[in-house]
Chain A
Amino acid sequence: GAVVSQHPSWVICKSGTSVKIECRSLDFQATTMFWYRQFPKQSLMLMATSNEGSKATYEQGVEKDKFLINHASLTLSTLTVTSAHPEDSSFYICSAGGSGGTYEQYFGPGTRLTVT
């Protein structure tokens, strides 16, 4: 099956610094990737849809200047949390859409971000 990787798997940073999370589709090309945020014991909240070669589409309430998304190639999307604050601490998950109209998504293992 399709494999999506994320790096790093966990990161601790100080308040005010920026953190970049990478999402890669390893064995298929993904024109669209999605970024989610998952709070403890809660569902996935879609943050933005990342389209290769164009600007990301952000969900309502998500600050695009704070959560910078770049989808520079068909296998790589990055999420940069700028000027991180403790309330940004969360589990961030990326996914890549299925190809050929199959609609299911393939998820990365997630990145645990802790801002101190």
Chain B
Amino acid sequence: AQSVAQPEDQVNVAEGNPLTVKCTYSVSGNPYLFWYVQYPNRGLQFLLKYITGDNLVKGSYGFEAEFNKSQTSFHLKKPSALVSDSALYFCAVIALGGFKTIFGAGTRLFVKA
């Protein structure tokens, strides 16, 4: 069965510091991996995805994520956090040949000024 794990309920970072939001997955076959962000009182927004190709993918708002097949991870990163990055972040996966998107539990990111 497909699953996504986000081991941290919350991540606290000081503004200007690098941030990492962790995600690991379990699927049969090759995964399609995604990160979405949910700001308060707003819908989820697509940040970035890995389908194939370069393991390091760049997305919106300066975020990037690295696909690591051996560790089955897809951690979200940003070199310098902004207060405005504070939001709820969801990792998601679709198994190759599948159709449904499976979401992780979400990680709340707090960036302190």
A residues apposed to B, CB below 8 Å:
1, 4, 6, 34, 41-44, 46, 49, 93, 95, 102-110
Counting chain B CB atoms within 10 Å of each CB, the highest count among A1, A93, A104, A110 belongs to: A104
Residue contact A43 to B43, C-beta cutoff 8 Å = no
Q: Could you mark each residue 76-101 of chain B with 1 if its beta carbon is under 8 Å from any beta carbon of chain A, else 0?
A: 00000000000000100010000111
Contact indicator A43/B45 (Cβ below 8 Å): no
Whether B100 pairs with A46 at a CB distance below 8 angstroms is yes
Q: How far is the CB of A46 from chain B (nearest CB, A)?
A: 6
| Interchain CB contact (< 8 A) of B100 among A49, A93, A108 | A49
Interface size classification for chain B: 20 to 34
Contacts of A110 on B, CB cut-off 8 Å? 43
The residue from B45, B90, B99 contacting A44, defined by CB atoms under 8 A apart: B90
B64 to chain A, nearest CB (A): 16
In Å, the complex CA distance between A13 and B90 comes to 30
Pick the most buried of A42, A46, A107, A109: most chain B CB atoms within 10 A of its CB: A107
Say whether B44 contacts A43, CB under 8 Å: no
| CB-CB contacts below 8 Å: B10-44 with A | 32, 34, 36, 41-44
User: Which residues of B are found within 8 Å of A41, using beta-carbon distances?
Assistant: 106
> Can you name 25 A-B pairs with beta carbons within 8 Å?
A4-B43, A6-B43, A34-B101, A41-B106, A42-B105, A42-B106, A43-B90, A43-B104, A43-B105, A43-B106, A44-B90, A44-B103, A93-B43, A103-B34, A103-B49, A103-B51, A104-B34, A105-B44, A106-B46, A107-B36, A107-B43, A107-B44, A107-B45, A109-B42, A110-B43
Bound-state Cα–Cα, A86 to B58, Å: 42
